[in-house]
């Protein structure tokens, strides 16, 4: 079998799983829906491994296989195939997406077991994986757009999964609207590219892009970036991601940390020949990525909702990836994408376990001392946090420093961006361990003490954001909670991720292995920047700086939260109150959008409804014409008296009148 056949299998299994679950949920008892969903993703992952093995058997110049099922459209000048493209880039994405998705499915088998929408959840989840794989396998811009829109829809469905929770449905709408802005950007970008190159498949567009006018190409790249930013939650289209945490925790792990939000990074890497021809657009992307990584990291310092801290951390880490691929360090950006998928999914799984142990409470202020009550979660969460903080020799250490080293190597203003990225790395290490120390260390809270006794806490079901009371029926979270300590599928999902978070870095140790970079080379062979590498001593210096920064951040967190726990409260309430308020309001982005966009739009809507619709349309146009018809008909009705004799009189009078008229005119 050729790699493309495996590619079709990778797509086929999740689609099959979706259909089976969507139509067969009525006949699937207990946890069987979860197992079917997991099995389909596992089959997809195995097919991806098959594609990898087949691809490696080929010589390097033949690792670019296109395959088409049928012609989607073939008319004058437009030729679109339902085709996929298998090359090292898409194989890497396939492996990461299907692999991490499988583990998260496995985790959800236990974690979602108490929920009334169990089969629906797995149908959505499989649908998401299918859409995401379609996105990364698409061989042309049309199919890419289809996958792009599908993942947006899947994200909406899963954020609003608890559809009776109003905050969740609102968050789903917010995410969908933002994503549609991105979809429009992507489509307009593809139109511009088609206008300039008369092709829609990647190879054709990249060939024709040389002949495009600079302005048009840059505009097309900026439009593509709008799509990438909306999907990857980069400023200014980022506000949906923290709200997306309203979805169930496995959804946050899968879609809003490991896979979907990295689609923007994938898009930039996939269309890299365009960005190399339009360096202005690449510069814009690098600046936005840097801005996002530092803004998001700063917000993560003060947010108290455990899941939202990790969400801001996700935004920040994707900022690193965007910076990497825009600085033409594709290998490094995708390396970080992979390691981030491991440790961020792990962090979310740990957070899910902690939230379950807290009986649904998500606030960091209420947590503490879970170290002894949940040893497994403690160890895995700490490994994830270490990898996130870039602790020496863990996966995040190598990938993050690779990005920063290559950015610094570009010189010019990229050096400034690299320095900012180092500062944000310090913040990252600090907030990562702020979570660890506040959740697992300190005085055990009531729930932790109960759990040490063997009792799992169950509070009255309530919305963690508003405190509103909820019933545990369908449309709300289920009545039972499940923690990793007691469910083997959850453990089985977290353990491999913890392992990968530790050793995932070995595929990209600079100067030693570089496996991933060599693997990806065929996909980026046309790039001018492939050989650009910092010298070995520079790389080692970078790694050393990264290690120092990471350890410093952890040490500061240790000093502030464990040695003198009251310091942070004092800072928050007195010395740094203004800064804290500014960060706690998330740099006032939501308020700004409210004043700048939402309210004017609402005012326009109100004007349209009260003035244009009700006065102009209803009263003048519709009301006016009916009034004319009404007046005319009431006149005609007046003649219809219903009296036979008056009709006869009218008839005779009329006839007599006519006769008289002819008599007069004829004589």
Partner 1 sequence: MDVVWFVVLSTLIFAIGAAGVMTRRSPLVILLCTELMLNACSLALLAFARMHGSGDGQIFALIVMVVAACEVVIGLGLIVAIYRKRMAIDVDKLSELRG
For the chain, report the end-to-end CA distance as a whole number of angstroms: 105
* 645 touching partner 1, by CB under 8 A: yes
Q: Which stretch binds partner 1 (CB under 8 A): 171-179, 432-440, 493-501, 634-642?
A: 634-642
Helix (H) or strand (E) holding 82, with range, is strand 78-86
Least Cβ distance, residue 639 to partner 1 (angstroms): 7
- Measured CA to CA, the distance from residue 304 to residue 306 in angstroms comes to 6
CB of 656 to partner 1, least distance (A): 9
Based on CB atoms, which residue is closest to partner 1, 537 or 634? Answer: 634
* Residue 648 sits in the site that holds partner 1 (CB under 8 A): yes
Eight-class DSSP state of 80: E
Q: Which of 603, 604, 629, 652 binds partner 1 (CB under 8 A)?
A: 652
- Which among 70-78, 233-241, 603-611, 631-639 is the span making contact with partner 1, rule CB under 8 A? 631-639
Structure-block tokens of residue 48 = 């991806």
Using the minimum distance from each CB to partner 1, give the nearer residue, 26 or 637. Answer: 637
Which residues on neighbouring strands pair with residue 68, listed in sequence order?
83
* Cβ 655 to partner 1 shortest distance, Å: 9
Query: Which one of 87-95, 315-323, 532-540, 632-640 is the stretch in contact with partner 1 (CB under 8 A)?
Result: 632-640
**Among candidate residues 116, 123, 94, 97, the one with its CA nearest the CA of residue 33:** 123
* Cβ nearer to partner 1, comparing 29 with 638: 638
Kindly state whether residue 512 participates in binding partner 1, applying the rule CB under 8 A: no
C-alpha closest to that of 289 among 328, 331, 345: 328
Which of the ranges 266-274, 312-320, 454-462, 633-641 carries the binding residues for partner 1, by CB under 8 A? 633-641
Closer residue to partner 1, CB minimum distance, 636 or 664: 636
C-alpha Rg value of the chain to the nearest Å? 31
Residues 6+ apart with CB under 8 A from 49: 95
Binding region for partner 1 (CB under 8 A) out of 62-70, 419-427, 518-526, 635-643: 635-643
Q: What whole-number distance in Å separates Cα of residue 536 and Cα of residue 602?
A: 57
Pull the structure tokens for residue 55: 């691809």
Site for partner 1 in 310-339 (CB under 8 A): none
Query: What is the nearest approach in angstroms of partner 1 to the Cβ of residue 475?
Result: 56
Of the candidate residues 76, 563, 636, 664, the single one contacting partner 1 (CB under 8 A): 636
**Contacts for 271 with CB less than 8 Å, ≥ 6 apart:** 202, 205, 221, 224
Shortest Cβ 646–partner 1 spacing (Å): 9
Instruction: Single out the residue of 416, 503, 649, 660 in contact with partner 1 (rule: CB under 8 A).
Output: 649
Q: What is the DSSP letter of 463?
A: -
Question: Which residues, at least 6 apart from 72, have a Cβ–Cβ distance to it below 8 Å?
Answer: 80, 81, 82, 142, 143
Q: Is there binding between residue 29 and partner 1 (CB under 8 A)?
A: no
Interface residue with partner 1, options 643, 663, 664, 666 (CB under 8 A): 643
CA distance 500 to 527: 30
Q: Which residues bind partner 1 (CB under 8 A)?
A: 636-645, 648-649, 652
């Amino acid at each position: 079998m050729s790699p493309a056949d495996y590619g079709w299998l990778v797509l086929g299994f999740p689609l099959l799983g979706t259909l089976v679950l969507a139509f067969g949920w009525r006949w699937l008892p207990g946890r069987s829906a979860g197992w079917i969903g997991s099995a389909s993703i596992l089959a997809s992952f195995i097919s991806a491994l098959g594609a990898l093995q087949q691809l490696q058997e080929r010589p390097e110049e033949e690792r670019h296989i296109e395959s088409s099922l049928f012609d989607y459209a073939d008319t004058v000048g437009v030729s679109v195939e339902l085709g996929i493209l298998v090359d090292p880039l898409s194989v890497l994405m396939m492996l990461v997406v299907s692999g991490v998705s499988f583990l998260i499915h496995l985790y959800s088998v236990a974690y979602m077991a108490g929920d009334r929408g169990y089969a629906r959840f797995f149908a959505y989840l499989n649908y998401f994986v299918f859409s995401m794989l379609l996105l990364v396998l698409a061989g042309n811009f049309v199919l890419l757009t289809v996958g792009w829109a599908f993942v947006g829809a899947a994200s909406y469905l899963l954020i609003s999964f608890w559809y009776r929770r109003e905050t969740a449905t609102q968050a789903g709408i917010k995410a969908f609207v933002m994503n549609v802005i991105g979809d429009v950007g992507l489509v307009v970008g593809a139109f511009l590219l088609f206008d300039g190159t008369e092709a829609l498949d990647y190879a054709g567009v990249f060939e024709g892009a040389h002949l495009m006018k600079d302005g048009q190409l840059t505009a097309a790249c900026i439009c593509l970036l709008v799509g990438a930013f909306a999907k990857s939650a980069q400023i200014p289209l980022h506000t949906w991601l923290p709200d997306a945490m309203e979805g169930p925790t496995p959804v946050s792990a899968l879609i809003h940390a490991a896979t979907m939000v990295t689609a923007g990074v994938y898009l930039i890497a996939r269309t890299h020949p365009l960005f190399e021809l339009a360096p202005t657009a690449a510069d814009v992307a690098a600046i936005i990525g840097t801005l996002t990584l530092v803004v998001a990291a700063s917000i993560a310092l003060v947010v108290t909702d455990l899941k939202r801290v990790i969400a801001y951390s996700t935004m920040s880490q994707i900022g690193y990836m965007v910076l990497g691929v825009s600085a033409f360090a594709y290998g490094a950006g995708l390396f970080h994408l992979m390691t981030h998928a491991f440790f961020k999914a792990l962090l979310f799984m740990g957070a899910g376990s902690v939230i379950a142990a807290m009986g649904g409470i998500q606030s960091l202020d209420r947590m503490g001392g879970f170290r002894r009550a949940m040893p497994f979660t403690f160890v895995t969460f700490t490994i994830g946090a270490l990898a996130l903080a870039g602790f020496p020799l863990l996966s995040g250490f190598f990938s993050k420093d690779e990005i920063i080293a290559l950015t610094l190597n570009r010189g010019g203003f990229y050096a400034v961006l690299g320095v900012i990225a180092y500062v944000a790395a310090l913040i990252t290490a600090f907030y990562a361990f702020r979570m660890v120390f506040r959740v697992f260390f300190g005085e055990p809270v009531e729930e932790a003490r109960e759990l040490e006794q063997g009792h799992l806490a169950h509070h009255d079901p309530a919305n963690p954001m508003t405190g509103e009371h909820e019933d545990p029926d369908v449309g709300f979270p289920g009545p039972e909670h499940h923690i990793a300590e007691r469910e083997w599928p959850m453990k089985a999902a977290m353990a491999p991720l913890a392992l990968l978070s530790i050793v995932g870095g070995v595929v990209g140790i600079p100067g030693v292995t570089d496996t991933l970079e060599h693997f990806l080379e065929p996909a980026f062979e046309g790039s001018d920047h492939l050989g650009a590498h910092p010298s070995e001593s520079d790389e080692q210096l970078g790694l050393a700086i990264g290690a120092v920064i990471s350890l410093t951040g952890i040490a500061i967190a240790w000093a502030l939260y464990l040695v003198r726990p009251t310091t942070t409260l004092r800072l928050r309430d007195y010395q740094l109150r203004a800064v804290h308020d500014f960060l706690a309001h998330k740099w006032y982005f939501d308020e700004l959008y409210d004043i700048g966009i939402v309210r004017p739009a609402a005012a326009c809507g109100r004007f349209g409804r009260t003035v244009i619709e009700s006065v102009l349309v209803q009263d003048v146009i519709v009301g006016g014409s009916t009034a004319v018809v009404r007046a005319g008909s009431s006149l005609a009705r007046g003649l219809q008296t219903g009296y036979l004799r008056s009709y006869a009189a009218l008839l005779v009078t009329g006839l007599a009148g006519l006769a008289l008229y002819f008599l007069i005119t004829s004589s």
